Structure 1
Amino acid sequence: MPESTVDAPDGPIDAVLEVPSGSGPWPGVVVVHDALGLSRDIRAIVRRIADRGYVTLAPDLYSRGGMVRCVTRTFRELVRRDGRSVDDLNAAREMLLARPDCDGAVAVVGFCMGGGFALVMAPKGFDVAVPFYGLLPRHLDEALDGACPIVASFGARDPILRGAGPKLSTALERLDVPQDVVTYPGVGHSFANQFPVGPAAPLLRVVGMGYGAEQSEDAWRRVFAFLDAHLPSPPAEPGGLPPKAPGD
């Protein structure tokens, strides 16, 4: 997978960049990884989004020291809604906007920790925010004031974020933010991520985690339909074909 670099205010950070086939231009997407960093799963998601017709960039928020040294600091910045991680994500958006193959619209997609950042970044210049089971910010109405349209997905069996979906939807309704928030029954946290868990898979399901193929595919169907509806210009399919209809 192509490696890239984002020129952030505190110095360059590593990233993964994927570009659709064809001539573009296309909308951009910044993908924010979960607490495990730029895993094989996140890299596959970056490629999936690019294959759907988006210039897709995933910055490594752990570039300056690795996961062990950076994870605590990154979570603190998530809770504060400020700091180096926020600056890094803004720099990733600006990098996409500067590319000639980006049409000037950029969404942010995140998972778990990254889903929390997707919500944090929603009022900060992105065109659409896509949190998958993201931690809700404190002082929700204040944090989401002026937010872009949001399409969010949660699992009903998530032991970490019980009731987060309805709470987020109610806040977005108060703020008059366009939204599509769904809580899926039968799955919990990380239901759209495929981790190489091996024999631990049954245990993860018991504690409310694990991949849910049906729910994940429906969530992606909703995400792409929402992006097509709310970004300034729907993406062309690779090769310049018209966008797929939802569910294709």
Structure 2
Amino acid sequence: MTHETLDIKTNDGTCPAHVFAPDGTGPWPGAIIYTDILGMRPATIEFAERLASYGYVVLLPDLFYRRGPYAPIDPKPAFASGNFAEVAAPMRAAVNKQQAADDTLFYLDALTARADVKPGKIGVTGYCFGGGVAIVAAGTYPDRIGAAGAFHAGNLATDDADSPHLLLPRIDAELYVGAAEKDHSYPFEMQERFKQAADAAGVTYTHELYEGAGHGWTQTDFPIYNKEADDRHWRELIALFKRTIG
């Protein structure tokens, strides 16, 4: 497997990114990962490497580059001390879902310009904050995104003007939403609102509840990490990508 870093120019600055690719010349389908609110750190880099091992060229951008350089955040002390919100606050202030989706134009261009990326639509997948970004990006670039996964994503169907569910009528990608059973940011009533909006929009989607899993269950460096649910997430994500982008 190959690993390289690059700087992607956007309208608002320069976004550092990692790219992982299988060995060989390819071409392989392309994929983008949108991280949770704590951003780039060793666990997310390992995550991107694992996705690439399934046969994808994977772009992992730093969604929070507008904040400026920052040291990798260790989630466990933040959770243990009870000041997670304080730790995450500078990240939340750095970018919103639509800004991250707008940046995706430059991520797509960087990815599809590569000789080892197969022509055609790419897949995206997001986690927590990044799950909402994945859906908004799919609605912003329907002609370029063929699959979107959103896992333990919060606030997917709110009254806010930038709520992800409002983009559903513009989406051409197949969606997979994996909801955590224990997630105050995506309660049952909101899940139903999202599914009703997806049905009304005629979106091809799967929406599943991960019983016993909490918000953030896929992140190996989170105390809430749930291996059984994470293994299921990987099976569903790769199945989604295989039947859509190859």
TM-score range, shorter chain: 0.7 to 0.9
Q: Which runs of 5+ in 1 are unaligned?
A: 202-209, 235-248
How many residues of Structure 1 are paired with residues of Structure 2 in the alignment? 215
1:4 match: 6
Q: What per-residue deviation string (whole Å, max 9, x for no partner) do you get for residues 105-142 of structure 1? A: 21111111111101111112221111112231545553
1:113 match: 129
Deviation above 6 Å: which 4+ runs of structure 1?
Answer: none
1:224 match: secondary structure: helix
- Counterpart amino acid of 1:145? P
Return the alpha-carbon distance in structure 2 between the equivalents of residues 132 and 181 of structure 1: 10
Using a 3 Å threshold, how does the CA distance of structure 1 residues 165 and 45 change in structure 2: closer, same or farther?
Answer: farther
Tell whether the 8 Å contact from 2:157 to 2:194 is kept in structure 1 after alignment.
no
Pair 1:73 & 2:93 matched: yes
Q: Which runs of 5+ in 2 are unaligned?
A: 71-86
What is the TM-score of this pair, normalised by structure 2?
0.80
2:51 match: 49
2:23 to 3, 17, 21: 21
1:187 match: secondary structure: strand
Alignment of 1:24-39 (within 5 A): 24-39=26-41
2:199 match: 173
1:242 match: none
Using a 3 Å threshold, how does the CA distance of structure 1 residues 137 and 119 change in structure 2: closer, same or farther?
Answer: farther
Which moved further from structure 2: 36-45 or 6-15?
A: 6-15
Using a 3 Å threshold, how does the CA distance of structure 1 residues 158 and 48 change in structure 2: closer, same or farther?
Answer: same
Pair 1:230 & 2:232 matched: no
In the TM superposition, residue 213 of structure 1 has moved relative to its aligned partner by 0.8
Which moved further from structure 2: 66-75 or 10-19?
A: 66-75
What is the TM-score of this pair, normalised by structure 1?
0.79
Tell whether the 8 Å contact from 2:176 to 2:206 is kept in structure 1 after alignment.
yes
1:238 match: none
> What root-mean-square deviation, in Å, do the aligned CA atoms of Structure 1 and Structure 2 show?
2.0
Question: Kindly, what percent of the aligned residue pairs are identical?
Answer: 26
- Counterpart amino acid of 1:71? M
